[in-house]
Chain A
Amino acid sequence: MSDAKNQAAGLASTLPADLLPTVTWCPQVPFSIGLADSGPDAVDISGWHMSVLTMKSKDASDKVSFDFSIGELIGAGGFGIVHSAEQACLNRDVAIKRIRPDRRSAATEQQLQREAYLMGQLEHPAIPPAYLIGVGDDQGPILVMRWIRGVPWDEKLAELASPKEDGLLKGAVLRSELNSFVRICEAVAFSHSQGIIHRDIKPSNIMIGQYGEVYLLDWGISVELQDDGVYNALGFAGTPCFAAPEMLGRAPKLDPRTDVYLLGSTLYNIVTGYPPHQGETIEEVFEQILTSSMPTFSEGWPDALEMLCRKAMEADPNDRYASARAMLEDLRYVIEYGELTELEADCDQDLKALMEMDQSRDEDRSKFDEIGTRCRFGLERILHEWPSNTTVARNLQKCLYLLCNAAISQQRIAAARALLAEYRKLAGDIGAERAEVMRRRIDALADQLIAKGDELSMNIQVRLVERLAAKEQEYDDLMVAYKKLCK
C-alpha cells in the first residue's frame, strides 16, 4: 500500500465526526458521510413558537426575550439545521439555525456560538448578517440571521449542466455564473481581511437569491487565524471532494490560501458541473487529493480560465494565488475579456489547421489565406485588448511566420515584407535569426522579380514599338488627309 493510500485510509478512519459536515457528492456517485443518512432533523419543530433569550450583559443577569414563530425547514448541515421563522416584533422573516438534537454537545454548542461570533464580524453584502445569538426554549444555542430566499448554487448548476455539449459551461451562461463567483471571491477576500477563513467553500454553501444576489453561507467551521496568519487545525474539517491537500494533514496548518484552493475547486465545479475530487470511497477521494490534487482539465476549457483555476488549485500553497484578492483580480480580467478567450480558442484551432496545412504542403492556398487572415486578425484583436497575454503573442508570431512563408511562396512580396515587419516587432531578439532568414529569401525574390520585370518589358517593348509605328502611320495619314482638306 502506498504512503498516500495509507495516509488516506488512516485519515478516513480517524475523522473527528463533530467536525465533519455532510459530504456533497458528485451526482454520478451518490455518497455521504456524517449525519446525512439519519435525516436532517430528528424532531420536526415546524409550527412551534420559540422564545429566544439573548444576554444583554456578560454576567447573564439581565436577559431579553424575543418570540419567533418557527416555519419550514430550509436547510441542514453537518451539525446544524435551519428553519425559517417570523419575528413578530419587527414583522420580518428570519432564519434560525440551531444544533440538531442528536448532535448536541458542548463542542457543537461552542461551534455555533463561534459561527455567530465570526459572522457578526463579517458585514458584507455577500455574507448573510447574523441578527442575534441566544438560547432557545430547549436551552440550546440559537443563531438568528437573515433568511436568504433563493436557490442553492449546486442545484442551479445541475440544471445548467444538462444542455452542455462537451460537458463544460460556456459563453454567456458561463460569464453570468462567473459574475456570481466574483461576489463570492469578494466575500472571501473580505473575510480574509478580517482574519477569518471559511474552510468549506463549495456551490452548495452558496445561495443565489431571487434577484441575482449571491451569499456565501455556512460559516460553521470558519475559524479566526492566529496572529501569525495561520490556523493550526486539530484534524480534517470540510468537504472532501473540494478539499485542499493541506487540509488532510494530521495537524493541518491552514491559511487564506486554503480558501483560495476551495475557490478553485468551486470554479472547477461551476465549469464542469462536478467537484474536482471523486472516488468510490472516502479513502479513494483522500488518496486522490494527496497524490494528484490537480484535477483533469478537458480540451474545451477556456485557456485563461483554466490557467486561473490551475493556479488556484496548485498542491503547494506557495504556488497558488497569495490571496483571494489576487485571484479576484485575475478573475475580473478573465471575465472582462471573456469574449476574447473564446476568440482565442477559435484562433488556436485556426493556427493548428494552418500548421497542419503548412506541414502537408496543402495546395489549397485560398483556404490557407482565409484561415491565416482570420487567425491573424483575431489574435491581433486579442493582443490589442489584452497585451499581457503572452500565449497569444507567441501564437501571433507563429501565425505571422507561416503567413510570411506563404506570401514568399506565392511571390506576394509586399505582403511578405509587411508580415515580416510585424513578425520582427513581436519576436524581437528571440526571432531575429528566423526573421533574417526570411528577409534574405524576400530579397532574393525581389531580385528575381526585378529581373522578371526587365525581361517581360523587353518582350512587350518590341510589340509596343510595332504598335507605335502603326499609330504614327495612322497619324501621318490623318495629317496628310487633313492638309489635303485644308488646301
Chain B
Amino acid sequence: MPKRMLIILGLQRGLFDEDAPFRQYVEPPDAIDRVRTAIIKLANSPLIDWDCIVHVSMQQKLQQDQQASKAEEFLIKHHSLKLGTVGAQVHPSLADACPSAVMLTASAGRNAFQGSGLDEFLSTRDMGQIIMVGAALGGMLFATSLSAYLLGYEVGVPSDCLLACSATELEVYLDAVLCSIVQVTHSIDLLGGAA
C-alpha cells in the first residue's frame, strides 16, 4: 500500500473564519463551514491512517494580464492572506485537530510546490499518493495538481473538501482539467464508504 498524505491548501483564518469577509462572495455562504467540517473530519478519521498531514499556506499574487476571479479580487483587496497577518494563520480548528500537521509556506503565486519544499518533503518520505483539499480558488488547486501530476504523484481530490466561490466554479475546475490529471472523488469514498 502506497504511503498516503493529506495536503491541505490554504485553510487559513482569512478564508475560513466565522467573520471572514470572504464569506460574502461564496454561494451559499455556509459552504465554507461545510468544507471546513469535511476537511477536519477527513483529517481526523480513524478510518484513514494518514502518513502525514501537511498544511501549505499560500499568498495570492496575480500575474499581469491575468483575469482575477472574485475570490482573488477579494484576497488582493484585503491582503488577508499576506504572511504574518492574522488572516494568514492556520485556522484554529485545524491546528487543534491536527497538532502534528506540518506547516509549509509557498512562495507568492498559485502553486503549493513553488518555494515550499513540498516536493522534497514528499519524495524524501516516499509518498506515493496525495489527497489535496482546501482552497480551489483562483487556480490554486489546479496549478498545484498539475505540478503534482507532472512530478508523478498520484493525486486524489475529494470534491466536498474543496472551496470555490460557487458550485459552478468548482464544477468548471473539476470537469475541465482536473478530472484528467487527478482522481476526483468524495470524502465518503476515501473513508471506505463510511459516512
A contacts, CB < 8 Å to B = 411-415, 417, 421, 443, 446, 449-454, 456-458, 460-462, 464-465, 467-468, 471-472, 475
Contact = CB atoms under 8 A, between A and B. Distances in A.
Contact of A446 (B119, B142, B169, B176): B119
B84 interface: no
Given A461-B139, A468-B169, A450 B151 contact: yes
Contacts of B152: 412-415, 417
B188 interface: no
A464 B177 contact: yes
A461 B142 contact: yes
B110 A464 contact: no
Contacts of A454: 109-111, 114, 143, 147
26 contacts: A413-B150, A415-B152, A417-B123, A417-B152, A421-B126, A443-B120, A446-B119, A446-B123, A450-B113, A450-B114, A450-B147, A450-B150, A451-B114, A453-B143, A453-B148, A453-B150, A456-B146, A457-B110, A458-B110, A458-B143, A460-B142, A460-B177, A461-B142, A464-B139, A464-B177, A475-B168
B67 A462 contact: yes
B173 interface: yes
Interface of A is mostly: helix
Given A456-B146, A457-B143, A458-B66, A467 B176 contact: yes
B142 A457 contact: yes
A461 B109 contact: no
A453 B173 contact: no
B111 A457 contact: yes
A263 to B, nearest CB: 49
Contacts of B69: 465, 468
Chain B: number of interface residues, binned into ranges? 20 to 34
Contacts of B142: 457, 460-461, 464
B177 A471 contact: no
A453 B151 CA distance: 9
Given A449-B151, A450-B114, A472-B168, A458 B63 contact: yes
A464 B151 contact: no
B171 interface: yes
Nearest to B69: A465
B66 A413 contact: no
Contacts of A417: 123, 152
B173 A457 contact: no
Contacts of B123: 417, 446
A453 B111 contact: yes
A131 B168 CA distance: 100
A419 to B, nearest CB: 12
Contacts of B120: 443
A443 B153 CA distance: 15
B172 interface: yes
A417 B119 CA distance: 12
B111 A464 contact: no
A462 B147 CA distance: 18
A448 to B, nearest CB: 9
A2 B126 CA distance: 66
Which A-B residue pairs are the 4 nearest by beta carbons?
Answer: A414-B152, A453-B147, A457-B143, A453-B146
A467 B176 CA distance: 9
B151 A446 contact: yes
Contact of B168 (A451, A452, A471): A471
A449 B173 contact: no
Contacts of A413: 150-152
Interface in B111-164: 111, 113-114, 119-120, 123, 126, 128, 139, 142-144, 146-153
A401 B155 CA distance: 27
B122 to A, nearest CB: 10
B158 to A, nearest CB: 20
Given A450-B111, A453-B111, A453-B144, 17 more contacts: A411-B150, A412-B152, A414-B153, A449-B147, A450-B119, A451-B114, A452-B150, A453-B143, A453-B147, A453-B150, A454-B111, A454-B147, A457-B143, A457-B146, A460-B142, A468-B168, A475-B168
Nearest to A451: B114
Interface in B65-96: 66-67, 69
B150 to A, nearest CB: 4
Contacts of A415: 152
Nearest to A407: B152
Contacts of A475: 168
Contact of A462 (B66, B114, B168, B177): B66
A139 B61 CA distance: 116
Given A462-B66, A464-B172, A464-B177, A457 B119 contact: no
B166 to A, nearest CB: 8
A39 B177 CA distance: 92
A468 B136 CA distance: 14
Nearest to B142: A457
Contacts of A443: 120
Interface in B44-72: 63, 66-67, 69
A140 B153 CA distance: 88
